[in-house]
């Protein structure tokens, strides 16, 4: 049995050890009540991390997909007339490659892309698309362009997205008529062979683009040696020498995407705050009410000679122990969930097009040290304060009033 003798002043370290032992015995003696408190705190901890990690994972996937699939890590050099939001600019947005990037193209650090407006006619239905020419051996864009090599038919090989294939009823090996306008505005048509169908989370790429070898599209359009944009693996230093070209860095290219990410992050922070508010209610119910129900116990301790400061310290330590055990339990119980969300992800019910973001049908969580440490600190500080403040108020009562439960 631990005996606390208030008549003999003890060293601070000894006092603290005694308070820790008393707090631990109180936790063990409470039995089911302790484990219910721990379970509530652990679930609040898991839900807060899980929810924020999902939102962070969505933002990361969106940023990663657009950077690697749509733009390239170093941004792009655009023809000065090119505006991706205005299809009417595409026909005139082409020029010979900037001379200063020829060395980058040779080392696969830049990928020229020629873009033309086109139409296809699957099952007799007209569908507007963009025809994009790119070097099959390029390494800048995260696209399976190595697949667009000419097969036994001798036709122009074409790469399309899975959603376009599903919508148009196309399969590998199918022939597809593509119609476009050349540099002189003359309409022309050619059959291409679908050699590969890719899965990509960027909907514009997956639904409405056909990729063919750059030299084929240049020949078809009578635009040899020309491109509309040049995707870069690294940021471009300076400005292009030719006035026909302008460098667009990732900040420019990703502006709309970053605005969308900020709005989604705001929603994620709101959800995090709601979960934290729920956690506060749970902590209040388990800690504050439990402390007020133990007024008589505090009165007994003060009547036995325990100072008010030590009563406050005892119940604050006890609450802190609740928090520590809960966080350990939360890590143990939540780790499998966090691992599965990181590696296997969560299959979304429905098409992610409805969410307005370039995401796959599987969402992966992102649980960094900052999220784990930040949430642990926030909840632990809350538990300590919720344990300290009501105990401090009750300790101001006289032992007699506390024993009477006033």
pLDDT value of residue 58? 83
Report CA torsion sign: 80, 83, 84, 86: negative
Instruction: Output the CA angle 290-330-286, nearest 5 degrees.
Output: 10
Mean pLDDT of the chain: 83
φ, ψ of residue 271 to 5 degrees: the values are: -65, -40
Query: How far lies 164's CA from each of 117, 198, 201, 208, in Å?
Result: 16, 10, 13, 6
φ, ψ of residue 224 to 5 degrees: the values are: -60, 135
What is the end-to-end Cα distance of the chain in Å, rounded? Answer: 30
Indicate if 266 and 399 belong to the same structural domain.
yes
Distance (Å, whole) CA 371 – CA 355: 24
Distance (Å, whole) CA 186 – CA 15: 93
Report yes or no on 2 lying in a domain: no
What radius of gyration, in Å, describes the C-alpha atoms of the chain? 33
Domain stops at, among 228, 248, 268: 248
Q: Distance between alpha carbon 232 and the CA centroid of its chain, in Å? A: 24
pLDDT value of residue 219? 93
Indicate if 95 and 57 belong to the same structural domain.
no
Indicate if 318 and 199 belong to the same structural domain.
no
Indicate if 228 and 320 belong to the same structural domain.
no
Contacts of 20 (CB under 8 A, 6+ apart): 317
Distance (Å, whole) CA 200 – CA 159: 12
Indicate if 89 and 119 belong to the same structural domain.
yes
Q: In this structure, what token pair is assigned to residue 220?
A: 């078809």
pLDDT value of residue 277? 83
Domain stops at, among 191, 217, 248: 248
DSSP 257: H
Indicate if 123 and 20 belong to the same structural domain.
no
Helix, strand, coil abundance in the chain, percent, nearest 5: 55, 15, 30
Give me the residue label for tokens 């830049």.
110
Q: What residue ranges of the chain have pLDDT lower than 70? A: 1-15, 30-31, 282, 285-287, 289-295, 348-360, 394-395, 397-406
**Residue 107 domain boundaries:** 75-248
- In this prediction the pTM is 0.72
Report yes or no on 6 lying in a domain: no
Report yes or no on 175 lying in a domain: yes
Indicate if 154 and 261 belong to the same structural domain.
no
Task: Give per-residue pLDDT as tens, 147-188.
Answer: 998 877 889 999 999 989 988 889 999 999 999 888 888 888
Give me the residue label for tokens 């991390």.
49
pLDDT value of residue 136? 94
How many other β-carbons are positioned within 10 Å of the β-carbon of residue 263? 11
Indicate if 128 and 156 belong to the same structural domain.
yes
pLDDT value of residue 146? 93
């Amino acid at each position: 049995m631990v005996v606390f003798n208030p008549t003999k002043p003890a060293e601070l370290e000894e006092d603290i050890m005694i308070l820790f032992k008393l707090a631990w015995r109180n936790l063990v003696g409470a039995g089911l009540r302790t484990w219910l408190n721990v379970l509530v705190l652990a679930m609040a901890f898991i839900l807060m991390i899980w929810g924020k990690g999902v939102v962070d994972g969505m933002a990361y996937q969106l940023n990663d997909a657009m950077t690697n699939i749509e733009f390239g890590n170093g941004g792009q050099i655009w023809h000065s007339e090119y505006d991706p939001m205005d299809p009417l600019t595409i026909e005139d947005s082409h020029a010979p490659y900037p001379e200063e990037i020829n060395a980058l193209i040779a080392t696969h650090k830049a990928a020229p892309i020629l873009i033309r407006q086109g139409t296809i006619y699957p099952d007799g239905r007209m569908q507007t698309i963009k025809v994009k020419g790119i070097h099959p051996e390029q390494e800048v864009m995260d696209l399976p362009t190595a697949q667009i090599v000419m097969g036994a038919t001798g036709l122009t090989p074409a790469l399309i997205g899975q959603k376009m294939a599903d919508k148009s009823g196309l399969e590998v090996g199918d022939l597809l008529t593509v119609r476009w306008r050349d540099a002189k505005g003359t309409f022309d048509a050619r059959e291409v062979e679908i050699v590969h169908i890719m899965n990509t989370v960027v909907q514009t790429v997956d639904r409405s683009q056909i990729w063919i070898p750059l030299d084929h599209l240049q020949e078809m359009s009578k635009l040899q040696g020309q491109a509309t944009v040049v995707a870069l693996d690294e940021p471009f230093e300076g400005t292009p020498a030719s006035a026909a070209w302008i460098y667009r860095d990732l900040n420019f290219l990703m502006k709309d995407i970053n605005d969308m990410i900020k709005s989604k992050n705001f929603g994620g922070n709101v959800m995090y705050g709601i979960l934290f508010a729920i956690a506060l209610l749970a902590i209040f119910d388990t800690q504050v009410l439990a402390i007020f129900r133990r007024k008589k116990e505090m009165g007994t301790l003060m009547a036995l000679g325990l100072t008010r400061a030590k009563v406050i310290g005892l119940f604050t330590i006890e609450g802190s122990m609740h928090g520590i055990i809960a966080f350990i339990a939360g890590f143990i119980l939540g780790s499998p969930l966090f691992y599965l969300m990181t590696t296997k992800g969560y299959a979304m019910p429905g098409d992610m097009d409805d969410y307005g973001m370039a995401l796959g049908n599987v969402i992966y969580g992102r649980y960094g040290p900052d999220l784990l440490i930040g949430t642990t600190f926030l909840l632990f500080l809350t538990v300590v304060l919720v344990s300290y403040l009501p105990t401090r108020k009750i300790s101001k009562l006289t032992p007699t009033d506390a024993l009477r439960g006033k």
